[in-house]
Structure 1
Amino acid sequence: MQAAEYNIVKSRFEWSDTVKNSDENIMEKVALFIVDKRKAFYLLFAIAFVFCAICIPKVQVENDISAYLPESTETKQGLDLMDREFVTHDTFSLMISNIPYNQAEKMTDKIEEVGGVKEVEFDDSEDHYKNSSAIYTVTLDSGLDNEREIEIENEVKNKFAEYDCYTYSASIDNSSDSLAADMRQIIMYVAIIIVLMLLFTSKSFMDVAVFLIVFIVAAVLNMGTNYLLGTISFISNSVAIVLQLALAIDYAIILSHRFAEEKQTKNSHDAIVAALSKAIIEISSSSLTTVAGLAALMTMQLGIGKDLGLVLCKGIICSLITVFLLMPGLLYMFSNAIDKTVHKNYVPDISFWGKIVMKTRSFVPIIFALVIVSSIFLSSMCQYAFDQDSVSSPRLSDSKKAENKIKENFDVGGQLAVIVPKGSYDKEKKILQDVEEYDGISTALGLANVEVDDDYCLTDKVTPRQFADLMSLDIATSRVLFQAYGASVSQYTPIFQDVDSYTVSIMDILMFVHEQMDYGVIDLGEEKNSDINEVYDKVSDARDQLEGEEYSRLVFTYKGKNESEEVIALHDKVREEAKRYYDDPILVSNAISALDLKSSFSGDNQKINLFTIISVLLILLATFKSSSVPVLLVLTIQGSIWINFSFPYLMNEKLYFLGYLVVSSIQMGATIDYAIVFTNRYLELKPEIGKKAAAIEAINGAFPTILTSGLIMMIAGFLIGFISTNPVISALGKCLGRGTLISIILVMTLLPQIMVLFDKLVEKGAFTLKKKEKKERTGIVYVDGRVKGYINGYVNGTIHGMVKGDVKAIVENMSGPEDEQKQ
């Protein structure tokens, strides 16, 4: 029997007198440095861990998605203008149920006693009292931070703890605590699942302890370094740690398995050096598709994509650094403990499933093809939501429950701000009067309709006599005041002509009189000064909220859901009314924000999909050196994405748009790894045992890896989806869990079938064919891989180690799959 009759698949033969590959030399030097300097790395990681742990509570979290809108959008411009030009008082609604009106009326004074409460609005109209329930609009002082506002809201609520009461606010963010509680619960469950999965799939109990140390350090590093980013979104803050653990778990498993293999023929030191030198390239390659998918989020026009992509990519990098620099030292340190705690392998053999897959390959791909084509159509029909109130989560937060209770009794509308150039109170008054008459508009507020009394508004112009009557002044004093005002603004009509015909807006004359009182120029007596100061406070407060240096703000309350056709039509009507008087009025509301998010969605969707697919294809082209294999893999995962996003349409649910953008990129970037694991094994085995047997064996061999990382990500996604009380986070979780499950099913069923069915296409798409080189050496030979031939006697098996003797065999430098018929 000739040695030339045998093939050696993906083998590496090295002779002691032969110079090694330069890449291997570099990696071994790097690995040797990391292992030998492990104590220094222990110290560095300990310092970084403490620093990051201290920084975690200091991370600033942004809970408003509209804050991430592009600068060019109307909402972003309007919000920036309002922050710069106006003072905004946050408000909350307090509802007390089962209370008579006369008792409800007395509650107003109790609410006003709470420090930080500016005013309380309540009357006997149906807007405030209905069905034996009273609702109070509580306005807070300006300049309070969000934490203090939450304290005030809770203090007011606690005052009426003996009653059936609820509080709700659209402007005070009280979601942080409930989000944190949700994520603590989710992380606890995910941690338990990870431990159970690792115990099930690992080879040693001590391996699990090492994994947990690595995961905890990597997670803390990522969360702590978020402080350096300034502010992160509530989405990144909530899901990053869970996704980091689910996405990066493979890296630790790969290094651990490599170490176990190398220890069969080497001591612990040499084994970890060899394992790390091989794992660096393998893990880095594996992480590329994941990073590519996450980096695609950073191409979004909406800033939250950059935020989420950056935090998650940083999480992957933190995991890589921890696995490469910390884990080798831990494995070496606990090497003996790992050996002593080896346990039975609990992962079952699923060759039976591979046989079923091969037997059904004639019709299952046709079924999947029909499903995928249908899913393309159904997913395109999916209705997307751009306002958080349009979606719900399975669990409701206390705040959401209170909001629902209040809305059962009262029509709590949204607020629309119309920002226009200041200077014409007549135009503002006309807009306010006309819009207030529209169906769907509850209230209208601007300087032009703020009442001083039953007869006058702030911006109404009055004569000296009318002002004297309004403020209970004598006419002579009023005339002098008007003359002084005219002189101050270089208008001399009241001085040299008839002062009684001179008119000034109530707001302007009051501001002037108060200013002169402060200077000590005017003194109207203690009683009159007090009256002027009281009215001035009202004027000043209204002006701060409704008029800035360059712009005026008109505020309307509207009824209806933000994304309803009626509300959108109402906003269009208000815009047209404002355009009758101003060229470029700016509208700001949740409904406008939803429209801005919708307009950016289409472009972001196309960019993310294109970037993800192209980058993943390029990585796979370099990995497999084939044009056909990457296409088959990407089509498989893209098919799972189409199927995933056909479910919302079939379930008659709206899908929050971020759920699609984020999950589609993660699903392509992360679950493509499952397809890579199978395909690598399949292509390695096919030249030796044939395509059908290779597919069956590859399914069985890939199962532990896919089971570990896939199941963890799937369960983590579903836990987020069904535990989180935030509808945005919940939507992301459900989509991620469902998408991961579908990807696993397609990789373990459809992909093996199409790889076998399109075997000729796979071979033709290979860039190069295998090269055969005859190797004959005597002496010390290092062998690593599948060997079939003569090594001082017949050997047929997997060899990792050194052979002393004669080696005579064919070595194949495998660059592509060989035709099965040549076996």
Structure 2
Amino acid sequence: MNEHEKPQIDFMHKLARQIVERRNLVFLFVILAAIFTVFSVRWVKVETDMTTYLPKTSETRMGLDIMDEQFTTYGSADVMVANITPAEADELSDRLTELKGVQMLDYDDTTDHYNKDAVSALYSITFDHPEDDDQCLEALDRVKEYLADYDIYVSTSLGNTQQETIDAEVRVIMVYVAVIIVIVLLLTSQTYAEVPVLILTFVVGMILNMGTNFMLGTISFVSNSVTNILQLALSLDYAIIFCNHFKEEYQTMPLKEAVIESLSKSIPEISSSSLTTVGGLVAMLFMQFRIGSDMAVCLIKSILFAMLSVFVVMPGLLMLFGPYMDKTRHRNFVPEIPFVGRFAWRTRKVIPVIFLVVILIGYHFSNLCPYAYGYDVIKVPKMNESLIADQMIEENFTKSNLVALVYPKNDDYSIEKKMLEELESYDEIDSTKGLSNIEAQDGYMLEDKLTARQFSEMADLDYEAAQMIYTAYAIENEEYGQVIGNFASYKVPLVDMFLYVCDEADTGIVSLSQEDLDDLHDARDQMESALAQLQGDDYNRVLIYLSPSLEPGRTTYEFTDTIRSIARKYYPDGELYMAGDATNEYDFQKSFAVDNVVVNVVSIFIVLLVLLFTFQSVGMPILLIVVIQGAIWINFSFPYFMGTNLYFMGYLIVSSIQMGANIDYAIVIATRFNELKDKMEHKQAMIETINFAFPTILTSGTIMTVSGLLIGRMTSDACIVGIGQCLGRGTIISILLVLFVLPQILLIGTRIVDRTSFAVPKLVARSSGKGRMRVNGIVQGEIHGSVAGTMNAIVDGDVQLTVISGNVSQELDDNEKQEVQNEDQ
């Protein structure tokens, strides 16, 4: 048994041996996990409402929580019917109202509901049940079924249509990504047999991750959609590192020992490599907008399962496919690129200066990036059925922009009425809706207080009967003083008296015809619906419809502050809350202002900390981070120059991923150059470094780029589109900077790296040679005799030295120097 074949007894080798010898047990576990995943993926709850992840202390989140608790929001849908005459539209309106589950239908012959030019009608339908009740979907299906022969477009938030659409799109993207991965691996691998090993390792990691998502309770639709794709792209390097170690060891060792040896080397190396990626993702845990922490947890979990798959499953796969690797070897399709190293050497004093100017420009214009906080201003490359319906309705009819205002309950609705009148005096407000301005009958509002005489005239009741009803109402509510001394002026809110009459009619105390009783019940349903939507136990709610002329963005956000200040005049005591698309986006903007700084600072700090321990130098981490941060600034200056809006989540997520994952490309080059720079001339060291790193960067970078671009081109959700586009573009920029800028920075910055190193001096290399040698540093050895100490000399003769610090290199003669000068020119 030679030296390589001797079994090792350290912990890593013991662990590796246990994993390899129990590979069949691992395979059994994987099969059981795959079966379990088939069921567990159905347990995952997906949240499609972005406002759920707003900070709990934000006004919108608190307002929504109160509205969920105290008010009923009925399911609704806007249904546009195209190619229909006004007469047909009127008739259809009556028929739709009679459908089971339809509580109310708004339609008239105004331009709000009928477009003569487009020959289209718009029906605003409210259903009998709350929007989270499945019976709303059943009622909507009845509407669609009734309109099956018409050309219709339905806009609604009911159901989980958005998630179903995204899931279908992601399944298609996954097929494309899988094909791309296979092609890339075939081109960058050295044997065909390693491709199924890598792919099966990815698949197992993905299955394990999907099968455990239910343990998180509820995850966002963003995390659910892109985690699997990003897991493949982010964790690809781990399997490649292990596979490369195995192929190297398998050349001199038996199969089983090669797997054990390569695994023992790969575990610490891969664990260390993952720290920067995880570090970048950890930054998202500190975001106020909690969708960041949701996605960070999902991605970190996916990386951990990818590592687990590499450490536990891949050894068994290598034992299965290892014997076929020698038989399926093919030529290397990835060319060496020595010209990049030579270019780096020639431009080492120019490119860093140009790069500094470019990143300053990128920093400036990335700060001008036109971020969007709502979907309305973002154009997506793919339109789904829901988006098409929204677009058709928006093009042909006036789109409402609704804001709900919640204020402490006050029985004096005259105050609410005055507030709504002042709000409606603003051009920015189209209309308002509250209990104080909903007309019941004959100009009376629901909350108007009426005497018995006024009620008898309005309801066409005998005055004596009205008196009896008012007396009974007062006695039931223990308002005896009103009956005895002040009955003529005793007033009761119309809605309260109306509901009281309904109850009395149902018990037979008030006698009505069946027709009047049916009308009374219909009216009661409408009133109870209004009360459920606008009156709570502790708060009341009014609905404010902003004018369509009020463009989305800063102007709208600022006007919500105006609404808030007006409401505060009328209700100075207690808390006021607003919720709606405008306020949601306003809170997104405010949280982004904080999260933007937090994500940048935390991601840079964590990655810097990891790199400090990796390189044991202050200078190297700074140089690497400058390159990747420059790539981020350049990436997010593109939307400004392209004139396209970017959904704000794209920056928060992609900047973290780009800093955490793309910096691995820079680490590969920096680590290799550090190893070679003291063994050969810096120019040759850089040429060798780039040739070594290019296959790894090409493989990982290509898959990351393609994954991002496919996500950005093949999905219809604006948030996911932004993430995909920025990730794909950012990876391309990072690769270009790592290959064509970082080498020059390392060449001129090597002195900074060495001088800021805090590593404990160690034996750097054993060096020997013949002929003319340059010796520079602290050495120990023989030069036609023994030598120990610090030298700076050119030695002619045999050299055998141990270099403690510094370097020993071959000195060129005059002819060789002339050849190098000719190459540089």
TM-score, length basis structure 1:
0.89
Counterpart in 2 of 1:802? none
Rate the CA distance shift 1:503–1:771 in 2: closer, same or farther, 3 A: closer
Higher deviation after alignment, 646-655 or 155-164: 155-164
Identify which of 278, 290, 309 aligns with 2:296.
Answer: 309
In the other structure, the counterpart of 1:85 is 70
Alignment of 1:107-256 (within 5 A): 107-130=92-115, 131=117, 132-143=119-130, 145=132, 149=136, 152-153=139-140, 155-169=142-156, 174-256=161-243
2:153 alignment partner, SS class:
strand
Assess if the C-alpha contact under 8 Å between 1:616 and 1:669 holds in 2. yes
Matched, 1:655 2:646: yes
Quick check: 1:93–1:135 contact (8 Å CA) kept in 2? yes
Superposed displacement of residue 246, structure 1? 0.2
Counterpart Cα distance in 2 of 1:185 and 1:433:
53
Asked if structure 2 preserves the Cα contact closer than 8 Å seen for 1:559 and 1:567, the reply is no
2:323: which partner in 1?
A: 336
Partner of 1:733: 724
Partner of 2:12: 27
Aligned to 1:618: 609
The 8 Å contact of residues 137 and 158 in structure 2, kept in 1 or not, is answered as: no
**Partner residue of 1:762 out of 727, 734, 753:** 753
Shift of 1:334: 2.1
**CA positional deviation for 1:454:** 2.7
Structure 2 CA distance for partners of 1:14 and 1:512, relative to 1, 3 Å: same
Structure 2 partner of 1:676: 667
Residues 812 and 268 from structure 1, CA distance in 2 versus in 1: closer, same or farther, beyond 3 angstroms? farther
Match of 2:696 among 700, 705, 721: 705
Cα distance in 2, alignment partners of residues 496 and 469 from structure 1: 23
Q: How many residues align?
A: 773
**Match of residue 509 from structure 1:** 497
Query: What CA distance in whole angstroms lies between the structure 2 residues aligned with 1:392 and 1:150?
Result: 28
Pair 1:576-2:554 in alignment: no
Deviation at 1:738, TM superposition (A): 0.7
The whole-number CA distance in structure 2 between the counterparts of 1:89 and 1:60 is 22
Alignment map for 1:412-427 (pairs within 5 Å):
412-422=399-409, 423-427=411-415
Q: How much has 1:153 moved relative to structure 2? A: 4.0
State, as a whole percentage, how many aligned pairs show the same letter.
40
Residue type of the alignment partner of 1:577: I
Q: Write the letter of the residue equivalent to 1:346.
A: F
Stretch deviating more after TM superposition (623-632 or 660-669): 623-632
Q: 1:566 to 1:376 in 2, by over 3 A?
A: closer
Summarize deviations over 1:164-210 as a string: whole Å, max 9, x none.
Answer: 32122356653122211221121111111100011111122221112
Superposition map of 1:436-515 within 5 A: 436-515=424-503
C-alpha change, 1:315 and 1:15, in structure 2 (3 Å) is: closer
Query: Which whole-Å CA distance do the structure 2 matches of 1:686 and 1:91 have between them?
Result: 69
Deviates more, 1:759-768 or 1:292-301: 759-768
Q: Is the CA contact 1:413–1:557 (under 8 Å) kept in the aligned structure 2? A: yes
Q: What is the match of residue 43 of structure 1?
A: 28
Letter in 2 for 1:314: K
Whole-Å separation in 2 of the counterparts to 1:379 and 1:820: 46
- Tell me the residue number matched to 1:563: 552
Q: Which amino acid aligns with 1:50?
A: I
The residue aligned with 1:537 is 525
CA contact (8 A) 1:772 1:810 kept: no
The verdict on how the C-alpha distance between 1:56 and 1:146 changes in structure 2, with shifts beyond 3 A counting, is farther
Secondary structure of residue in 2 paired with 1:340 = coil
Letter in 2 for 1:607: V
Q: Distance in 2 between matches of 1:809 and 1:144?
A: 83
Cα distance in 2 for residues equivalent to 1:729 and 1:275: 38
Distance 1:73 1:772, change over 3 A: closer
Query: Which has the larger displacement, 599-608 or 552-561?
Result: 552-561
TM-superposed CA distance for 1:717, in Å, is 0.7
> Helix, strand or coil for the counterpart of 1:438?
coil
CA displacement at 1:499 relative to structure 2: 2.7
Give runs of aligned pairs for residues 590-629 of structure 1, distance below 5 A: 590-629=581-620
Provide Cα deviations, 1:645-683, integer angstroms capped at 9, x if missing partner. Answer: 111111222222111111111000000100111111111
Q: Say yes or no: does 1:393 pair with 2:393.
A: no
1: distance between equivalents of 2:17 and 2:245? 15
Quick check: 2:75–2:132 contact (8 Å CA) kept in 1? no
Residue-by-residue CA offset, 1:243-297 (whole Å, 9 max, x unaligned): 1000001111111111111111111111111010000001000100000001111
Q: Identify the residue that residue 815 of structure 2 maps to in structure 1.
A: none
Unmatched runs of 5 consecutive residues or more in structure 1: 1-12, 776-789, 791-807
Alignment partner of 1:142: what SS? Answer: strand
Task: Flag the 1:306–1:204 CA change in 2: closer, same or farther, 3 A.
Answer: same
Structure 1 residues 474-533: Cα deviation after superposition (integer angstroms, max 9, x where no partner): 222221211121122221234323533321111122233344556x48342454544543
Specify which of 23, 26, 49 is matched with residue 64 of structure 1.
Answer: 49
Which has the larger displacement, 273-282 or 206-215? 206-215
Measured in 2, the distance between the counterparts of 1:723 and 1:457 equals: 51
Structure 1 residue aligned with 2:786:
none
TM-score of the pair, normalised by structure 2:
0.89
For 1:554, which of 531, 542, 561 is the aligned residue?
A: 542
CA contact (8 A) 2:406 2:577 kept: yes
Structure 2 gaps of 5+ residues are: 767-780, 782-798, 812-825
Q: Whole-Å Cα distance in 2 between the matches of residues 496 and 150 of structure 1?
A: 53
Deviation of the 1:723 alpha carbon: 1.3
SS of 1:125's equivalent? coil
Give the whole-Å Cα distance in 2 for the aligned partners of 1:602 and 1:574.
23
| C-alpha displacement of 1:697 | 0.8
Structure 2 CA distance for aligned equivalents of residues 147 and 252 of structure 1: 45
| Residues 57-97 of structure 1: per-residue CA shift (max 9 Å, x gap) | 33111111111000111100110011000000122211122
CA contact (8 A) 2:415 2:570 kept: yes
Give the drift of 1:324: 0.6
**Structure number with higher relative contact order (C-alpha < 8 Å, ≥ 6 residues apart):** 1
- Residue number among 618, 631, 639 corresponding to 2:622 in the alignment: 631
Q: Greater shift after overlay, 49-58 or 677-686?
A: 49-58
Residue 643 of structure 1 is matched in structure 2 by: 634
Alignment RMSD (CA, Å): 2.6
**Distance (whole Å) between structure 2 residues aligned to residue 628 and residue 716 of structure 1:** 33
